[in-house]
Structures are given as C-alpha cells and as structure tokens.
C-alpha cells in the first residue's frame, strides 16, 4: 500500500429532490493520493467532480463517509487545504498585495505588517506579478487575476492545493503559461495538488494520476490512469512523446463512450479497488506509434 | 467632447433659468392701478388692489428678500422671527439626530436579517406592515408617549429613515457573493472578522445607497413634521410665513429646502462613490 496522504473513504452525496426522493450524485466513492502527487479528475458535467473537491475543501459535507488528510479526518474548512477558485474569487476592494496579505494574516494572526507584506510579496514574485502589487483586481487581466488566486492559495503554505477548473475561463495562450507556472511551482515545492478539469491535455501535462469519473447521477470513479510520461515533460513537445497518444486516446475514448456505458458494461466494479491503468506501447490501437513519430509525417497515419 | 457637452448643458441650463425668470417677471408685472377708488376704501385695501401690484411676488422681490436673509442668517428676534440660518440649523440638527439613531439601529439589525434566514423570515411580517406607514401617522402616538414635540419630530425622522437602510443592508448582506464567503471560509476567518473584512466591504455600496434614499426621505419628512410640531425649523418657518401671508418668504424657504436637500444627497453620493469598488 502506498502512502495515503489524502484518502477519501466511501463518501456519498445526496440532494433532496423535488418529489421527496433523494438524488444521489455519487456514493461509495474511494480515492487516495500520495504526498506530493498531482491528481486530476476528469469527467463530464454533473458527475460530481466539483462536489468531491468542495468536500475535500470542507465547503461541502459528504452525506456518508469520511475524508482523511494526513492521518486526520477533515472537519470543515482548513488552512491546510487551499482552494483556487474557477472564478478567481479575489476581493475586488483589495489590491493584489491586500488579497494575498488577507490570506497570510488569516494564517498567522500575530505577524506584524512588515512580515505579512514580505511574505505576501514572496508569493506575488513567485507567480510573476512583481510590480502589480498595488493594482486592484479590476485592473488586471483574467490570467493575472488567476495568478493572484494561485499566489493567495500558495501563500498559506497549504498541505494540499485544490483547484476547481482554475484555467477554464482563460484564453489558450494564458492557460498554457499558467499551466507551466503551476507545474513548475508544484515540482519545486513538492506540493500535493488536486485539480478538476475538462481539458484532457491539461490533465496529461500536469497530473501524475488522472481519475476518470463516469456520468452522473450515480457517478463512480471508473479508473485511475497513471501518467506514463516522464516527470520532466514539457508542454511544447508533450505530443511527441511515444506514449502521448496512447494516453490521450485512452482518456478521450473514456470520455466519449465508456463514461456513458460504464455502468451497464462493467458489472463487477469494486469501488474500493479501482483498476489502475498505465497506457503505454502495449496499447493495441497504437502499436506502431513510435515508428510513426519517427517518420515525422501525420499523413502516414491517415493512410 | 465631455467638457464641451458639459459646457453646452450649462448654457442650456442658464438659458432655461433666464427664460423662467423672464416669464415669472412678466407674469407678475403690476397691472393698471385703480383710479376711481375712494381714498378711505383704498386705505383698507392693500397695494394689490390700489396700485395693481400682483399678489404673487416677482423674481426681483424674492431676490431682494433673499439678499436680506442672506446678509443676516442668524438673527433672533424672538420665537416668531428667527434668521433662516437658525431655522435650517434646527431642521438639519433634527434630521441628523434622527438619522444617526436610525443608522445605529438599521445597520446592525440589517446585518442580522441578511445573515440569518430565520431572523429574516421572522421579522419580515413586521417590516412589511410597518414600512408603508406614513411617518407622520406616528406623530400623535409619539407626542402622547414622549410628551416633547422636538423629540417627537426626531422620532418621526428616525422611523422614516430606518426602513430603506434596514432593507438595503439586509439585501446587501444577503447578496454577498458566495465565492467571497467561501474564500473567507477556506481561510478559516471567524464570523466577526468575516463580517468586517468581507461582508461589510462587499455590501457597503448597497448599504450606502439605502442611506442615501433615507436621507432624502428624512429631509422630505422634516418639513411636514415641523409644520405639525411648530416652534422652530424650516418647516415651521414655511407655515409661519404662510400665516403671515408672506409668499416671498415661502418661496425663499422652498428654494433653500431644495438646496439643502441636494447638498445632503450629494454628501451621501460622495460616500457611496468612496466605498464602491469596480468589479
């Protein structure tokens, strides 16, 4: 058994329906992650991804089950678990420095102003916003706002960073640079991170483990995909790696068809022992992939 | 472009004002004096009948009288003859006091209503019934219980300014974005600190808007309240001058009520701008 830094144990979330019946978003969900791992959840809308993240954050409570982080069952929100919100959620009446300092003073209440400022500045520099400390969120671009959100989350040196589709509202170029930043920061600091995304390439680039969820209601964690790409992968040449297409096709296939049919196809699914898949060369569909890459022509694949 | 628009608007405003004064002046010109009136009868009649002077004062009469008032705003010749500055001062002091009391009550209570759905639902029927009551309807009850006309007027100001502030505060607090609350929750910010660092700044523009509506209503009501309670204040001045049949003074009072009301509104508008944040 690997080190279980985060362990989600048999959680369920039910909402009271209009007709008195309960709607079960998911139940008996088990999920674990090791320290320093980057986990990504992929699934269609309505599968309860955000609910899982909110439960991890403590913003929502599971109807059943428990979540254990670093050996302790979580109860409510905590400064150990920082959240990067999809909508950045900066306080618009505070400056960049003010927003980060607000988080810093929340964690270390007895620090004096100078210490708080210096600490906040470190993280503003880390996300590359040096010089914009005194701007208000309304004066920043979408990407810069999300950088502040990242700086705010990191500034409290959390055990886990939780991200709810943090880059989905950004344009492709900005998203790319921010993914680079997040990857660099997580690798440098050994940060444990849990992220929700819709973007397959984002998951492939960032995640060590990709959690595939089937469609809700009654969603289950169908598979854990281990990322076979090397740790030092770069965003630019990611798609040239021989395992890339195997991994990508596996995830896309799941999202396109298997996420719908999973419940009827797989009858012996054990939510406690979710199969771990490591797509690689042995994947029959793309067995000649490395050769194709060597020829360097996409046309060959088509013929 | 903007400055030129403002300039053109100012020109049109001045032109309209000049036209208004001109029409007013022409409409109140003296008509031909009566010639064949017996002198004894003429003595009994005023200038209106004998000299053909208009019953309505013209702009020049009002201007002259206004100048007289402005030169001596704070004279005090007994209960029925005080300077306009003193009368306005009384009114502003009453409005200020009643309004201040309303702020003290409405903002904390509004916070409570906004933050607690239970309190909100429980107090809702009372607010719905009390809100539409004309503040002056409280006057007899206030006079009977408080037994002091001046404090009763302050109470009436309090009761009329409390509702917009209360409702706007409750709405502003309840409508604070969930994500900002969640930020505070994930940072383990306590309830009190959350109220002051997240909810108050987020709801401040709405609260200030309620305060701005309240000061407007308070200034409307004080005139009527002072007409009832009498003694001092600009409302009493208007009624007293009506009893004196001094239409000139009534017009001057109307003008000053408008200007003071505008200034009060502008002060609150400035405060509102100070707490408004761009999204």
- A29 C-beta neighbours (distance < 10 Å), count: 26
Which of B179, B186, B278 is the closest to A57 by Cβ?
Answer: B186
pLDDT at B1: 56
- The residue-averaged pLDDT of B195-210 equals 95
Q: Predicted confidence band at A268 (pLDDT cuts at 50, 70, 90)? A: confident
- The residue-averaged pLDDT of A144-163 equals 92
Q: Which residue has the higher pLDDT, B39 or B92?
A: B92
pLDDT at A285: 44
The answer to whether A83 contacts B180, with C-beta atoms less than 8 Å apart, is no
pLDDT at A290: 41
Cβ–Cβ contact B188 with A under 8 A:
yes
Extended beta strands in chain A, E state: 6-16, 22-33, 38-42, 64-69, 72-73, 81-84, 160-164, 192-197, 209-213, 221-226, 276-277
Cβ–Cβ contact B13 with A under 8 A:
no
- The residue-averaged pLDDT of B145-174 equals 95
pTM of the model: 0.84
Give A59's contacts in chain B (Cβ within 8 Å): 182, 185-186
- The residue-averaged pLDDT of A80-85 equals 92
- B11 C-beta neighbours (distance < 10 Å), count: 10
pLDDT at B34: 67
pLDDT at A53: 93
pLDDT at A2: 53
The answer to whether B188 contacts A89, with C-beta atoms less than 8 Å apart, is no
pLDDT at B253: 95
- Considering only A13-27, A121-135, B149-163, which range has the smallest mean pLDDT? A13-27
Res. B182: pLDDT tops 80: yes
Q: Name the DSSP letter for residue A219.
A: B
pLDDT at A300: 37
Residues B240, B226: Cα–Cα separation, whole Å = 11
Q: Residues B167, B169, B170, B171: is their CA dihedral positive or negative?
A: positive
Average pLDDT, chain B: 92
The token pair that represents A225 in the structure block? 């995909």
Strands A38-42 and A192-197 come out as: parallel
Cβ–Cβ contact B198 with A under 8 A:
yes
Which of A81, A93, A103 is the closest to B277 by Cβ?
Answer: A93
Q: Among candidates A150, A250, A245, A134, which has minimal Cα distance to A193?
A: A150
Our CA-based measurement puts residue A288 at a distance from the nearest CA of chain B, in whole angstroms, of 48
Res. B107: pLDDT tops 90: yes
pLDDT at A288: 38
pLDDT at B29: 86
pLDDT at A297: 39
Our CA-based measurement puts residue A213 at a distance from the nearest CA of chain B, in whole angstroms, of 25
Residues B79, A258: Cα–Cα separation, whole Å = 91
pLDDT at B204: 96
Cβ proximity of B62 and B246 under 8 Å: no
Q: Is the peptide bond before A217 cis (omega within 30 degrees of 0)?
A: yes
Give A138's contacts in chain B (Cβ within 8 Å): 277-279
The answer to whether B180 contacts A91, with C-beta atoms less than 8 Å apart, is yes
Cβ–Cβ contact B202 with A under 8 A:
yes
Cβ proximity of A181 and A128 under 8 Å: yes
The percent of residues in chain A predicted with pLDDT above 90, rounded, is 43
Distances (CA, A) of B194 to A72, A185, A296, B69: 26, 30, 58, 52
Which of B179, B188, B202 is the closest to A87 by Cβ?
Answer: B179
Q: Predicted confidence band at A296 (pLDDT cuts at 50, 70, 90)? A: very low
> Could you read off the pLDDT of B231-248 as tens digits, one per residue?
899 999 999 999 998 999
Which of A79, A87, A138 is the closest to B187 by Cβ?
Answer: A79
Which of B197, B202, B278 is the closest to A102 by Cβ?
Answer: B197
Average pLDDT, chain A: 85
Give B182's contacts in chain A (Cβ within 8 Å): 59, 83, 85, 89
Res. B168: pLDDT tops 80: yes
Burial class (CB in 10 A: 0-12, 13-18, 19+), A221: buried
The answer to whether A102 contacts B201, with C-beta atoms less than 8 Å apart, is no
Which of B182, B275, B278 is the closest to A59 by Cβ?
Answer: B182
The answer to whether A138 contacts B201, with C-beta atoms less than 8 Å apart, is no
pLDDT at A23: 84
Number of Cβ pairs < 8 A linking chain A and chain B: 54
Cβ–Cβ contact B178 with A under 8 A:
no
The token pair that represents B264 in the structure block? 């009060």
Our CA-based measurement puts residue B274 at a distance from the nearest CA of chain A, in whole angstroms, of 11
pLDDT at A293: 42
Helix H or strand E segment including B215: helix B200-229
Q: Which residue has the higher pLDDT, A288 or A100?
A: A100
The answer to whether A77 contacts B185, with C-beta atoms less than 8 Å apart, is yes
- The residue-averaged pLDDT of A117-130 equals 92
Residues of A with CB under 8 A from a CB of B: 57-59, 77-79, 81-83, 85, 87, 89, 91-93, 102-103, 106-107, 136, 138, 156
Locate the chain B residue with the closest alpha carbon to A161: B186
Give B188's contacts in chain A (Cβ within 8 Å): 77-79, 106
Q: Predicted confidence band at A246 (pLDDT cuts at 50, 70, 90)? A: confident
> Could you read off the pLDDT of A158-171 as tens digits, one per residue?
989 999 999 888 88
> Could you read off the pLDDT of B18-42 as tens digits, one per residue?
999 999 999 988 877 667 777 777 7
DSSP assignment of A76-134 equals S--TTEEEE-TT----TTS-HHHHHHHHHHHH-TT--HHHHHHHHHHHHHHTT-TT-TT
Residues A77, A99: Cα–Cα separation, whole Å = 19
Q: Predicted confidence band at A220 (pLDDT cuts at 50, 70, 90)? A: confident
pLDDT at A196: 94
C-alpha B257: how far from chain center: 7
Question: Rounded to 5 degrees, what are φ and ψ at B68?
Answer: -60, -45
Burial class (CB in 10 A: 0-12, 13-18, 19+), B111: buried
- The residue-averaged pLDDT of B209-220 equals 96
pLDDT at B2: 65
> Could you read off the pLDDT of A61-78 as tens digits, one per residue?
999 999 999 888 998 899
Our CA-based measurement puts residue A153 at a distance from the nearest CA of chain B, in whole angstroms, of 9
The percent of residues in chain A predicted with pLDDT above 70, rounded, is 91
Which of B187, B189, B201 is the closest to A93 by Cβ?
Answer: B201
Locate the chain B residue with the closest alpha carbon to A85: B179
Which of B182, B197, B278 is the closest to A138 by Cβ?
Answer: B278
pLDDT at B108: 95
Q: Among candidates A231, A205, A259, A236, which has minimal Cα distance to A43?
A: A259
């Amino acid at each position: 058994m690997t080190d279980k830094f985060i362990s989600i144990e048999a959680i369920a979330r039910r909402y009271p329906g209009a007709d008195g019946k309960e709607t079960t978003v998911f139940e008996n969900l088990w999920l674990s992650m090791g320290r320093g791992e980057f986990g990504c959840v992929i699934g269609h809308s309505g599968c309860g991804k955000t609910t899982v993240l909110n439960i991890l954050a403590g913003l929502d409570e599971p109807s059943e089950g428990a979540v254990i982080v670093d050996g302790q069952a979580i109860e409510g929100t905590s400064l150990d678990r920082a959240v990067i919100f999809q909508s950045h959620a900066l306080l618009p009446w505070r400056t960049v420095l003010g927003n980060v300092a607000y988080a810093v003073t929340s964690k270390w209440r007895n620090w004096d102003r100078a210490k708080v400022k210096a600490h906040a500045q470190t993280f503003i520099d880390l996300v590359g916003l040096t010089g914009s400390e005194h701007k208000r969120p309304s004066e920043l671009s979408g990407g810069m706002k999300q950088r502040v959100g990242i700086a705010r989350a990191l500034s409290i040196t959390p055990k886990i960073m939780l991200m709810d589709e943090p880059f989905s509202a950004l344009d492709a170029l900005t998203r790319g640079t921010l993914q680079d930043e997040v990857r660099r920061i997580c690798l440098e600091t050994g940060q444990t991170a849990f992220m929700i995304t819709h973007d397959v390439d984002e998951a492939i680039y960032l995640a060590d483990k990709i959690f595939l969820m089937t469609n809700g209601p009654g969603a289950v964690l169908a598979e854990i995909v281990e990322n076979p790409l090397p740790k030092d992968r770069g965003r630019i040449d990611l798609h040239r790696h021989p395992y890339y297409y195997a991994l990508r096709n596996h995830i896309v296939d799941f999202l396109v068809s298997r996420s719908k049919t999973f419940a009827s196809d797989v009858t012996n699914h054990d939510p406690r022992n979710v199969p771990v898949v490591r797509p690689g060369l042995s994947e029959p569909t793309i067995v000649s992939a490395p050769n194709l890459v060597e020829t360097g022509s996409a046309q060959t694949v088509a013929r | 472009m903007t400055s030129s628009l403002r300039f053109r608007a100012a020109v049109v405003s001045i032109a309209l004002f000049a036209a208004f004064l001109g029409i007013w002046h022409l409409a109140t010109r003296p008509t031909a004096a009566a010639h064949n009136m017996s002198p004894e009868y003429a003595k009994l009649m005023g200038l209106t009948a004998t000299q053909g002077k208009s019953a309505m004062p013209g702009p020049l009469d009002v201007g002259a009288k206004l100048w007289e008032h402005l030169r001596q705003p704070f004279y005090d010749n007994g209960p029925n003859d005080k300077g306009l500055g003193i009368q306005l001062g009384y009114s502003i002091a009453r409005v200020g006091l009643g309004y201040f009391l309303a702020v003290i009550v409405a903002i904390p209570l509004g916070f409570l209503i906004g933050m607690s759905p239970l309190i909100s639902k429980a107090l809702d029927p009372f607010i719905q019934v009390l809100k539409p009551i004309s503040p002056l309807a409280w006057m007899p009850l206030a006079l009977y219980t408080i037994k002091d006309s001046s404090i009763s007027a302050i109470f009436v100001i309090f009761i009329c300014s409390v509702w917009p502030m209360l409702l706007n505060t409750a709405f502003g607090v309840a409508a604070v974005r969930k994500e900002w609350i969640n930020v505070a929750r994930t940072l383990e910010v306590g309830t009190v600190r959350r109220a002051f660092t997240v909810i108050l700044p987020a709801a401040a523009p709405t609260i200030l808007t309620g305060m701005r509506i309240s000061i407007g209503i308070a200034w409307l009501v004080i005139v009527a309240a002072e007409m009832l309670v009498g003694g001092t204040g600009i409302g009493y001045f208007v009624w007293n001058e009506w009893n004196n049949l001094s239409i000139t003074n009534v017009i001057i009072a109307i003008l000053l009520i408008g200007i003071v009301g505008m200034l009060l509104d502008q002060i609150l508008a400035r405060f509102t701008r100070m707490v408004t944040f761009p999204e």
